[in-house]
Structure 1
Amino acid sequence: MAHGPKKHLKCVAAPKHWMLDKLTGDEVKKICMQRFIKIDDKVRTDITYPTGFMDVISIDKTAENFRLIYDTKGHFALHCITPEEAKYKLCKREAPGSLDGVHVKDANGNSFASQLSNIFVKGNKPWISLPHGKGIHLTIAEERDKRLAAKQSSG
């Protein structure tokens, strides 16, 4: 039994002025390539550029500024801000920088690099007794050669 004419219009026959959900990034690419989008006051044309917590997103053509913050549910949300507020960044992550390195030579004469925070020196000799081999870790090949040399000298 028919229930009357169907009122659904297929997407193919939809007028051009309808705002349909687009799955492509063509609009995003066009806007970014026109250099309208600034992230932290730098023009970004990469559509996959990552934005993070407290980043300022500015659109010069519309004179809008947004700050990327967390909402109450812990999701990222855009918060409208004034141009004066967009001039500074509230949160900035800084890397600790390069670590100071030290080159150390062990009792066998092998030299290796380590961080300065891992090393401390008091005097010219160890204050505790060192285990067999003076605390030096030998590779498997070095252990084998040492065993063979001991076996040949004793036998």
Structure 2
Amino acid sequence: MVKNHMKRINAPKSWEVLRKNYKFITRPNPGRDLSLSISLNTVLKELLSKTRSTKESKYLIKHQGVLVNWKRCYDEKFPVGFLDVVSFPSLKEHYRLLIDEKNNLFMLKISEEEAKLKLSKIMDKKQLSKDHVQLNCTDGRNFKLKSNDPLLGQASTNDSLLYSLPDQKVKQVLKLEKGSLVYLYKGKHTGILVFAEDFKQNNVVFKIDQEVFETKKAYAFALGKEKPVITITNTTGKKAKHST
């Protein structure tokens, strides 16, 4: 049985919140990876400092409107997940949830144009019928494509899909391959941008300052080739570059 409450001291380490000033924190509704998602109430109160209490968060959500991935949200417990976009139409402000090198979730302010783009990582494919195939993504999103769709031939497990919001039309498949720029969002090297140098079974090989490392393909998010298709900040100032 899923608990309806959560003590701050037991909150995931990726939540950059005060642990000892209050006893409890809003637990997000089930459905997303708890270490890579956070409740809308906590986003408003502690990541963006838009409100000072849950009561204020509820008022803001109900009367002024808060959009998550360009859909109106009415529940303060709604889970805002990794790479999701939170928008405030009345303020004309948009933010994307990212993770930094200290394994902390944070909100990055972005433009309205970029807020209409979203990325999802392909987890697997499923044949629905003779004419349709479904792409299942790690964030719970699914895309139903016709079997003769050219995008389907390009897409493989662990690749990324770039699509527009709110119509959810796939614009591009970003391949996880040699030379790809990837964003590591889990594991020991969380929050950094690297170039995929090689692959060993289910691992991605990359270099940091000429030192070779490996991580699971499942921890690597393809973002393009030379530069990322969305804005990603690097908190320690390290820049992703090809090894020499």
- Compute the TM-score of the two structures, normalised by the length of structure 2: 0.29
Highest CA radius of gyration, 1 or 2? 1
Higher strand content, 1 or 2: 2
Q: Which has the higher contact order (CA 8 A, sep 6+)?
A: 2
